[in-house]
Amino acid sequence: MNRELLEKPFLATEIKQREGGNGTALNYVEGHTVIARLNEAFDGVWEFIIKSFEVSETRDEVLVVGRLTAGSVSKMQFGASSVTRSKADNLPVSIADDLKAAATDALKKCATLFGVGLHLYRDKEEQQKPRSTRAGSAPQGTGRISAKQHSYLLTLARDHGMPRREVDAMCQERFGVVLDHVTKAEASLLIEELTKRDGPPPQHPQPEHRAGGVH
């Protein structure tokens, strides 16, 4: 079992965001991305089965229990998905598709028990810490660095002759994390710093700026 590969952080371009129950942005990875990581770590030799499922009318959701097995190790977890209903008659559109979504949720949660995507939970806990307890002194902002910010920062770094390892070192020094795990607000500060440095001006359009920083 390749623990290092299983727990390897996902790239910023692989991490998506959705709105949580309290209006905050939640980071997640899609099912196919987790499957690709499992295939890579276990050379494709793993098995996922649904142990049981339930369609709950009172909660208007479907629940499944899944088991992920690799070698001699098995992990079990629940997965859930809301029932998708037609706007026309409020009838379920496809319980089968809802069960598939719940199964994917269970698979991702089982994979987490193997270490896949654990850094997403650590990042969430880190962002919830008081500012004074977090490495660096920059504002945290909401959500992880966007794909546009990530690409633009690497372009700026190349314009200034900075290899990727120096960018990661700069992020570690200022914020306590590598580039892939800085927040949007921190990425905005880095973009501002690099665009003000002496040297040839970058010949690339900047990402669109909106209220609260670059998104």
Q: Are 167 and 179 in contact (CB under 8 A)?
A: yes
Mean pLDDT over residues 132-147, rounded?
57
Q: Given a cut of 90, is residue 140 above it in pLDDT?
A: no
Q: Are 119 and 126 in contact (CB under 8 A)?
A: no
Instruction: Select the more confidently predicted residue: 20 or 55.
Output: 55
Of the candidates 214, 213, 195, 215, the residue with the CA atom closest to the CA atom of residue 204: 195
In terms of average pLDDT, the best of 13-22, 99-108, 151-160 is 99-108
- d(CA 176, CA 168) in angstroms, rounded, equals 10
Four-point Cα dihedral 175, 181, 186, 188, nearest 10 = 150
- How high is the pLDDT of residue 203? 52
Place of tokens 């991305």: 33
Confidence class of residue 89 from pLDDT cuts 50, 70 and 90?
very high
Mean pLDDT over residues 2-26, rounded?
80
Q: Given a cut of 50, is residue 202 above it in pLDDT?
A: no
- d(CA 1, CA 158) in angstroms, rounded, equals 37
Q: Given a cut of 70, is residue 184 above it in pLDDT?
A: yes
Confidence class of residue 178 from pLDDT cuts 50, 70 and 90?
confident
Q: Where in the chain is the domain with CATH 3.30.390.80?
A: 3-121
Quote the DSSP letter at residue 140: -
| Strand-pair category, 73-82 with 61-70 | antiparallel
Confidence class of residue 179 from pLDDT cuts 50, 70 and 90?
confident
Confidence class of residue 44 from pLDDT cuts 50, 70 and 90?
very high
Cβ count within 10 A of residue 136? 17
CATH architecture of the domain with residue range 3-121: 2-Layer Sandwich (3.30)
- How high is the pLDDT of residue 20? 64
Confidence class of residue 198 from pLDDT cuts 50, 70 and 90?
low
Alpha helices in the chain (DSSP H): 3-6, 31-42, 95-113, 118-128, 147-159, 164-175, 184-196
Tell me the pTM: 0.60
- How high is the pLDDT of residue 201? 46
Q: Are 199 and 162 in contact (CB under 8 A)?
A: no
